[in-house]
Amino acid sequence: MSAEGAENVIFVGKKSVMNYVLAVLLQFDVGNKTVILRARGKAISKAVDVAQIVKRRLLSNKVEITSCKIDTEDVGEPPRKVSTIEIVLESKE
């Protein structure tokens, strides 16, 4: 379900919030019941915004945030610790 590179995993990075909101909606639209948002570092706030916009404004009462995990990853050379977040959105339909 949360395998790397899976279609229903969306990596939130430098694009605009609405870009990722659209990506989430498309994933639900093609029939996925679960969409996973992942982000690192400063993009974490953006991932939370994306999840909240999908949940509150666009698919209110149809989507639930079932999990929110935070962790640390080593990034770059020399490795440096970067915080990560994984938010799981599930369709209730």
Give the nearer residue to a copy of itself in terms of CB position, either 31 or 78: 78
Site membership for a copy of itself, residue 23 (CB under 8 A): no
Site membership for a copy of itself, residue 18 (CB under 8 A): no
Q: How far is the CB of 86 from a copy of itself (least distance, A)?
A: 10
Q: What is the spatial distance between Cα 9 and Cα 65, in angstroms, rounded to a whole number?
A: 14
Q: Is the dihedral of CA 60, 65, 53, 3 positive or negative?
A: negative
Q: Is the dihedral of CA 42, 43, 49, 51 positive or negative?
A: negative
Give the footprint of a copy of itself on residues 43-62 (CB under 8 A): 43-45, 48-49, 51-52, 56
- Best CA proximity match to 34, nearest among 59, 2, 12: 2
Binding site for a copy of itself (CB under 8 A): 41-45, 48-49, 51-52, 56, 65, 68-72, 81, 83, 85, 87
